[in-house]
Amino acid sequence: METYQRRLSEAWLKRGEQALERGDMSAAATALGNARALMPRAPSLNLPRQNGSTAKP
């Protein structure tokens, strides 16, 4: 099960990286959130909040 979760998380990470390259922040945040749900140590995307501060992980 852990191997499956790791592979799925890596696929989500790759999808998130591709979305970032395209400049699609919404898709990147979704993909990286999915990766993080599977593997809590996966990277997260800290987007600026409306007041200019970044979200806490």
Identify whether 53 is part of a domain.
no
User: Within a domain: residue 6?
Assistant: yes
Summarised one tens digit per residue, pLDDT across range 23-48 is: 999 999 999 889 888 887 766 666 56
Answer left, alpha or beta for residue 13, where phi above 0 means left and psi between -120 and 50 means alpha: alpha
Q: At how many degrees (to 10) do helices 2-22 and 25-38 cross?
A: 170
Taking the model in full, what pTM does it have? 0.69
Whether 53 has a pLDDT exceeding 50, the answer reads no
Domain count, the chain: 1
Residue type present at position 10: E
- Does 14 fall in a domain? yes
Note the pLDDT of residue 55: 47
Per the structure, the complete domain to which residue 12 belongs is given by 2-38
Q: Is residue 45 part of a domain?
A: no
Question: Closest by alpha carbon to 33, among 57, 6, 51, 1?
Answer: 57
Q: Is residue 21 part of a domain?
A: yes
Within-domain flag for 43: no
User: What are the residues facing 52 on neighbouring strands?
Assistant: none
Q: What radius of gyration, in Å, describes the C-alpha atoms of the chain? A: 12
Q: Tell me if 25 is assigned to some domain.
A: yes
Residue 46 is assigned to a structural domain of this protein: no
* Residue 50 confidence (pLDDT): 52
